[in-house]
Amino acid sequence: MTNDIKIHIFHTGEVCVSPDLPFGGDNSNLLKASGLFTKKADRIWLPVSAYLIEHPKGLFLVDTGWSRDMSPEGVFDKKAQIKHLGSRILYEVNQGVVPVGQTVPEQLEELGYKPSDLDYVLMTHLDCDHASGLEAVKEAKHILVAQDELEFAHKNRFVRYQSKWWDNVDMTAFEWNATEGPFQKSYDLFNDGSIQLISIPGHADGLFAVKVTNDSGQFVFLASDAGYAEQLWKELILPGISSDKEKQMTSLKWVKEESEKANCIQVIANHDTAIKPHTITF
């Protein structure tokens, strides 16, 4: 049996947002980031990523991307999106499209897997473009989310979050069990450092990154929405949507430090247009 780790980067469609949402910086605010008053021509399209990790310890999915319910026919569908998201406001903030073949189950099938083959689904947080596809992978053996995030989602239900995305899913909320990261809060999945879920709050209270480390100490760091692109941690630019900007900057600085380590293979942001679907083997 090989000890190689493979990380498949999936693009599960795209999301259309105000430029202030990913790249707002210090001059942004929630209203600008929401895009409610952004001209259609000024909005930008970003990929919505999810990741499949083939690992000696099992098969892991990080986030679920968009559901097929967003685009039943594989094309932009305003009515279907509003119904699936459960909110006209969420539609205005996060317009999306999922071409045929790009949902997580469709891409799993291309690799010869079914949702029931997944040992773990790791939910970095519960925003719609990360949790929309949860029900389609509910047959996975374990689905994990931070307790901090579940509590944050409950406080912000009906505006930012809709519990219907996971109401029919057997999802387990975990408490941090280790001290890695900028706030000394992490979850070591196997207590051996091979897969660590590291608390990086700021964008959302329960946001975590996934650090995957091989036997030689090399690692790939899936940064989720700590920054929407590599540029943000390189230049320390805050995204426009946050629950706590001070914590968000602390998390971003820590991601930058991780990216500069000699044994870091790559740090990947969830919505970086420079990242194309590919497979990392290490």
Whichever domain contains 254, its CATH number is 3.60.15.10
* Total number of domains in the chain: 1
Is 109 a domain residue? Answer: yes
Distances (CA, A) of 163 to 70, 89, 168, 251: 16, 16, 9, 26
Is 26 a domain residue? Answer: yes
Is 56 a domain residue? Answer: yes
Is 1 a domain residue? Answer: no
**Domain carrying residue 256:** 6-276
**Identity at 54, one-letter amino acid code:** E
225-252 in b/e form (b: 16+ CB < 10 A) is bbbbbbebbeeebbbbbbbeeebbbbbb
Residues in Cβ contact with 66 at an 8 Å cutoff, skipping those fewer than 6 apart = 12, 13, 15, 48, 96, 98, 102, 103, 129, 132, 133
Is 130 a domain residue? Answer: yes
Average pLDDT, 10 consecutive residues per value, the chain (282 residues): 87 95 82 83 96 97 98 98 94 95 98 98 98 98 98 93 95 98 98 98 97 97 96 93 94 98 98 97 97
Is 215 a domain residue? Answer: yes
- Residue 55: which of 15, 125, 22, 7 has the closest Cα? 7
